[in-house]
Amino acid sequence: MPSPSPLQPRPRRSKAPATLLMAVTLIALLGLVAANCHNDVPPPPDALTEPDALIGAINSATEDITTVRMKDMRLDYYGDQGRVSVKQLILLGEPDRARIQTYIPGLDGVAGVLACACGQFAYHDRDQDVYYYGPATAENVARVLPVGLTCRDLGSILLGGLPTERLETEAGAPDMAWDSDLGRYTLAWPLQRGSYAGGKLTAKIRHGDWRVTRIMVHDAGGALEYTYTARAFDTIEGHALPTSRRFLVGDESADISLTGDTIQLNPELPDTLFQLEAPQGTPLNYVGDTLPPPPPPPGGDLCQGQ
């Protein structure tokens, strides 16, 4: 066979296999580094070390807020009933007053109104034209809203706090630790009573502004019941408050997000805003254990003159 002429180009060897091998090797090395790399955020020099001190700091961060108005809040719901996006006006007042008006884009008027005060709640579903009322327990409120919280606890976590009422009535003494991966405090309460007896409630807390960024509830078997996450904190009138909140049921049967930053602190809110009278002729539905069912609050006054 004749030897190749020096004037003829020699066949070039493909570099593709080598390049591919290098790429695969690099990806494998990066994956190995990522798997073995984690944050190691030490606690700050002035870190709190006692649960009571941390809980006190959390509660003190918003103790000067007595009323709140949240306008043009967007609520996105995705779950068994499909996907829904609505607008909400949320009013809060100490200690457990709340009013939530829901508007469906493209439709005139209010789709539903929830009012809470003095341990009682009323809810008018204007779409179905039904008026619900009864004690504002977490279980009762969950029958008309996809969130298992009392009105007092709902107001607290919307401001980046703890579900204080649930902890006071259902939980034992908490354990405290520092999460070096997140750079957060961890408080974990054993749940001894209520719907999640035998389970655990865990909260993650930021240092400095003492805002709660995550709450997780597990049942007695260790299964995750729900996760609440607060994000996109903004400084509003000197307070660090979340502007994005997400409530995710453990089995993902409901995923609720609430976003909006039009928040006013300590506006004047008359008591009448936390009342809700049953419209004339609307069917009544008592939610509670009292038999026979009591009548609805006269004039919509949930406090009955308290």
pLDDT of residue 113: 96
Structure tokens, 216:
């997780």
Is residue 83, in this structure, part of any structural domain at all? yes
Three-state secondary-structure class, residue 127: coil
For residue 232, the number of C-alpha atoms closer than 13 Å in the C-beta half-sphere is: 10
Cβ atoms within 10 Å, residue 264:
14
Q: Tell me if 252 is assigned to some domain.
A: yes
| Cα–Cα distance measured from residue 166 to residue 155, given in angstroms and rounded to the nearest whole number | 13
The domain total for the chain is: 1
Residue 72 lies in a domain: yes
Q: What is the pLDDT of residue 217?
A: 96
Q: Is 183 left (phi over 0), alpha (psi -120 to 50) or beta?
A: left
Instruction: Using 70 as the pLDDT threshold, list the residues of the chain that sit under it.
Output: 1-38, 305-306
Backbone dihedral region of 25: left (phi > 0), alpha (psi from -120 to 50 degrees) or beta?
Answer: alpha
| CATH number, domain with residue 280 | 2.50.20.10
pLDDT score, position 18: 53
Owning domain of residue 67: 51-300
What pLDDT was estimated at residue 27? 55
b/e burial code for range 196-209 (CB count within 10 A of at least 16 → b):
beebbbbbbbbbee
pTM for the whole thing?
0.84
Residue with tokens 């602190």, as numbered in its chain? 265
pLDDT for residue 127: 87
223: in domain: yes
Q: Return all residues near 91 (Cβ < 8 A) that are at least 6 apart.
A: 67, 68, 69, 70, 97, 98, 99, 100, 269, 273, 274
Phi, psi angle pair for 170, to nearest 5°? -125, -15
| Residue-wise pLDDT tens digits, 112-152 | 999 999 999 999 999 899 999 999 998 888 877 777 789 99
**Beta-bridge partners for 112:** 102, 125
172: nearest Cα among 159, 186, 187: 187
**Domain-located, residue 30:** no
Residue 90: closest CA among 245, 306, 305, 301? 245
| pLDDT score recorded for residue 16 | 47
Residue 123 in any domain: the answer is yes
In a domain, 171, yes or no: yes
The answer to whether position 128 is within a domain reads yes
Nearest to 247 by CA among 127, 163, 122: 163
The reported pLDDT for the residue numbered 25 is: 55
